[in-house]
Amino acid sequence: MQLYIYFLGTGGSWPSSERNVSAIAVKRGREVLMFDCGEGTQRQIQKSPLSYMQITKIFITHFHGDHFLGLPGLIQTLQLNDRKEDLHVYGPPGMKKLLHQLINLGYFAPAYSMIGHDIKGGEELHFDGYDVRCIYASHNVPALSYSLAEDTRPGRFNKKRALELGVPEGRMFGKLQRGNSVEVNGKVITPDMVLGDTRPGRKITISGDTIPYDAFIEFARDSDVLIHDATADSSLEEKANEYGHSTARQAAEIALKAGVGRLYLTHVSPRYRDAKPLEKEARDVFPESYVANDFMEVEVKLKKQDRKND
């Protein structure tokens, strides 16, 4: 199954001509998950290869305007496009109430269900094929960091071993691959006899607005992709931290400690017309660092040694 990240808004605080405010879409198979939905996100979606009708769940990190003011426009547009499917919106405590307020702005009578969920740091949400976990970030209002982790996949199927054990090729192979035992000539063959070690799925972690905090390192451990607040460069560290934000260098230090694959720097302050200096200072600490730009598309691939049978 393909897994893509689309950066729809990579600027902090307010939209600029270079960057729209926070919104990240994760497309997994046919499903689109949104993480934050700043003002103007629906227009960013229209300029991207995504369809907003595929959005099933929206996760909001916190209730600063640059992270949620895109919701009212988006939910009204979904209605105008005859959406019928439920839309789930998750966020820190207060999300349900906020969603209710947004739905009741102006003349809007939704014909589809929008379900708000208040979630707390430490919660784990289980979905078909993946989990979304959250943890309280260290911002100046209640805020969450999120991670999306795919379910562990069964180990690689050893066809030779299965044939040696007398399992005929065909339907029984599939049963074993899905983790079920089969019976051949009165002998029970269990999946562990023909499957290798289980293999981890992919993991994406999103810090949201935050200063660097210790618990996040474990939370982000071994992510394929880490997307981290990098509002400013190191010369403005004190100020950035005072406002509950990180610098590019601090984000890179977190990436290094958490052993992630790649780091994308986001929530770039409108003061930077050219964000290359942020990328440079991050790369001095963690070479696989990239400044995220609006409409950047990132494929998250399965780890190389695991890809043969997928």
Residues recognised as catalytic: 66
Minimum gap (Å) between residue 302 Cβ and Zn ion: 32
Between residue 44 and residue 63, which ones bind Zn ion under the rule CB under 5 A?
none
Q: Does 209 bind Zn ion (CB under 5 A)?
A: yes
Between residue 1 and residue 20, which ones bind Zn ion under the rule CB under 5 A?
12
Minimum gap (Å) between residue 161 Cβ and Zn ion: 53
CB 189 within 8 A of CB 165: yes
Q: Pick between residue 209 and residue 294 the one whose CB is nearest to Zn ion.
A: 209
Minimum gap (Å) between residue 267 Cβ and Zn ion: 6
Q: Pick between residue 66 and residue 233 the one whose CB is nearest to Zn ion.
A: 66
3-class secondary-structure state, position 145: strand
Minimum gap (Å) between residue 66 Cβ and Zn ion: 4
Q: Return the bridge partners of 37, or none.
A: 23
* Helix intervals (H) in the chain: 41-46, 65-68, 71-80, 95-103, 159-164, 171-177, 214-219, 237-242, 248-258, 276-285
CA distances from 186 to 177, 181, 182 (A): 20, 12, 10
Other Cβ atoms less than 10 A from the Cβ of 144: the count is 28
Give dist(CA 62, CA 80) in Å, integer. 27
Could you say which of 19, 24, 38, 66 contacts Zn ion (CB under 5 A)?
66
Minimum gap (Å) between residue 64 Cβ and Zn ion: 4
Q: Does 150 bind Zn ion (CB under 5 A)?
A: no
List Cβ neighbours of 20 (8 Å cut-off, separation of 6 or more). 8, 9, 10, 11, 38, 39, 40, 41, 44, 294
Could you say which of 28, 64, 133, 156 contacts Zn ion (CB under 5 A)?
64
Q: Pick between residue 83 and residue 139 the one whose CB is nearest to Zn ion.
A: 139
Q: Pick between residue 76 and residue 247 the one whose CB is nearest to Zn ion.
A: 247
Q: Pick between residue 90 and residue 130 the one whose CB is nearest to Zn ion.
A: 90
Total number of residues that touch Zn ion (CB under 5 A): 4
Give dist(CA 257, CA 234) in Å, integer. 18
List Cβ neighbours of 240 (8 Å cut-off, separation of 6 or more). 211, 231, 232, 246, 247
Q: Pick between residue 12 and residue 212 the one whose CB is nearest to Zn ion.
A: 12
Minimum gap (Å) between residue 9 Cβ and Zn ion: 10
CA angle, 226 as apex, 221 and 231 as ends, to 5°? Answer: 125
CB 88 within 8 A of CB 63: no
CB 253 within 8 A of CB 237: no
Q: Does 39 bind Zn ion (CB under 5 A)?
A: no
Binding positions for Zn ion, rule: CB under 5 A: 12, 64, 66, 209
